[in-house]
Amino acid sequence: MKSIRSMIGGAALAAVLLSACAPQTVVVTKEVEKQVEVTRVVEVEKVVEATPVPATIIKVTSTNGPDENSGTQLARHRLLTLGFKEIRPDVDIVANPSPFDASTFPARLAAGTIEDTYLVAFTEPQNMIANGYAADITDLLSKWEGFSSFNPGVLQVVQDANGRVYGLPVNGYAIGLLYNRALFKEAGLDPDKPPLTWDELREAAKVIKEKTGKFGFQLMPATGEGGWLFTAIAYSFGANMIEKKDGKWVATYNDEATVKALTLLKEMLWEDETVKLVQDGVAAATSLTNGEAAMHIKAPDLLFWMHDNLGAKVENYGQGPMPQAGGNATLTGGAAWMFSPKASPEVLQAAVEWSIYRDFDLATYELDLKTKKERGELVGIPSLPLFTGDYQARRDEILKKYINVPLENFAPYLNATNITMKPEPPVEAQKLYTELANVLGAIASDKNADPQQLLDESVKTFQTQVLDQVK
């Protein structure tokens, strides 16, 4: 029997590759002078690399999914879900674009239609924890390397009295004084030294009005946002707004501190005529961008919106700390992911892992910053640090690579380390803000209005109609 060359033809090779996965015997033949000769037996094993298909798929639903009309959001979400699939191939993420709705949440939770994880403002967690509207994730979250580095002041927003954790804070802010540096220069004021007290702010507003003809400050009496900002002002005077007494929530914002804050705004509006009344946050941002008003109480992240939507040049603005009048405090807030108490243990674990990956994976964080800078977006506007220690240092090192804003303009804000970060009112905060907006509206429409009387009447109404109904 003649020897055969050790080359298998294309048809024979295809037959081998299409063979079964288990080892098998293949007879290779060669036609020689019209005779079929068996040359040798070759044992072949087919090896195929493939991602195993999980026997069971875990579906995790969430709020605040990408806007279907935003290509940027959709692309980022797809990239994140693909990356998470490499870690958890057994998990599918289903993100609902709709945000959390406090008015429908209890009914949806009872009906079993609530998402597995939902993004809420810092005003919500304590009430949700007290009512059993959130799952305890302490044991799951404590396995993550960044958990021990959480800023204690931030983490307490999602903790109960025993220190158990029910949510994952993902962003934070502290309200301060955002101001137009160009108007400061025009008025002969030092743009690197914003007012640090309310007396200084009042005087600066007068100078700006006198030297430029523009308003020194803004007030928003028509919407709940105005009430929210007034709460921050009242904090800086020493107010508490709502307190718990003998197990009951009590409205306390008719105290001396709040009266002083409201009186100051009334005097600036009617006596000094340095305050511009604006309808809402968009109008406030617009007048600040257009140079119609010089100062606005807000967190520095408003500059993102002003830049993206109004073309504001970030170098024309500065950020100082919240001016003070004895309270040594400012309002802080943010958002946190909470988790359904009805989720199964498997779904809950997957939801927590997904939330950590989406918001705190360092490689993803760097890619986000790099992409934003390449798109011409602002990178490096200060925010409330969520972490301390080594983990925050690692995040800061990544951020330094991509900063494109003049950090020196935010130095007064960043260097104000002696101001207490005070959370939003613990219950019914949104309703409180609406009520306070009504008080501001009364001040704005009547120069003879009595701040103490207005606040006394408001506290009485809010107590009976809102706080007395809280269980």
21 and 100 assigned to the same domain: no
Give a yes or no: residue 374 inside a domain: no
117 and 140 assigned to the same domain: yes
Q: What is the pLDDT of residue 393?
A: 92
162 and 224 assigned to the same domain: no
Mean pLDDT of the region 380-405: 92
What residues contact residue 318 under an 8 Å CB cut-off, 6+ apart?
178, 179, 181, 184, 191, 192, 194, 409, 410, 412
Is the torsion defined by CA of 380, 382, 385, 386 positive or negative?
Answer: negative
Mean residue pLDDT of the chain comes to: 88
Domain region containing 76: 58-172+342-358
> Do residues 338 and 167 touch, judged by C-beta distance below 8 A?
yes
Whether the predicted pLDDT of 362 surpasses 70: yes
CB-facing half-sphere around the CA of 443: CA atoms within 13 A: 33
Report angle CA 171, 172, 178 to the nearest 5 degrees.
125
If you search the block for the tokens 């993902």, which residue do you land on? Answer: 170
Whether the predicted pLDDT of 6 surpasses 90: no
Whether the predicted pLDDT of 8 surpasses 50: no
Give a yes or no: residue 368 inside a domain: no
Instruction: Indicate the pLDDT class of residue 238, thresholds 50, 70 and 90.
Output: very high
Q: What is the pLDDT of residue 55?
A: 67
> Do residues 204 and 376 touch, judged by C-beta distance below 8 A?
no
Give a yes or no: residue 51 inside a domain: no
CATH number at residue 245: 3.40.190.10
From the list 127, 111, 119, the residue with the least C-alpha distance to 466 is 127
Question: Range with the lowest mean pLDDT among 71-75, 400-404, 407-411?
Answer: 71-75
Q: At what angle do helices 224-237 and 256-267 cross, to 10 degrees?
A: 120
204 and 276 assigned to the same domain: yes
Q: What is the pLDDT of residue 127?
A: 86
From the list 394, 421, 455, the residue with the least C-alpha distance to 145 is 394
**Number of domains observed in the structure of the chain:** 3
Question: Which percentage of the chain shows pLDDT scores above 90?
Answer: 77
194 and 265 assigned to the same domain: yes
293 and 434 assigned to the same domain: yes
186 and 156 assigned to the same domain: no
Give a yes or no: residue 376 inside a domain: no
300 and 422 assigned to the same domain: yes
Give a yes or no: residue 435 inside a domain: yes
Whether the predicted pLDDT of 327 surpasses 50: yes
What residues contact residue 241 under an 8 Å CB cut-off, 6+ apart?
231, 234, 235, 251, 252, 253, 258, 425, 432
> Do residues 362 and 369 touch, judged by C-beta distance below 8 A?
no
256 and 350 assigned to the same domain: no
Residue 205 backbone dihedrals phi, psi, to 5 degrees: -65, -40
In this prediction the pTM is 0.79
Give a yes or no: residue 417 inside a domain: yes
Give a yes or no: residue 227 inside a domain: yes
424 and 301 assigned to the same domain: yes
Q: Give the chain's largest Cα–Cα span.
A: 119
> Do residues 240 and 301 touch, judged by C-beta distance below 8 A?
no
73 and 195 assigned to the same domain: no
Give a yes or no: residue 372 inside a domain: no
180 and 161 assigned to the same domain: no
Q: What DSSP element (H or E) covers 117?
A: strand 117-121
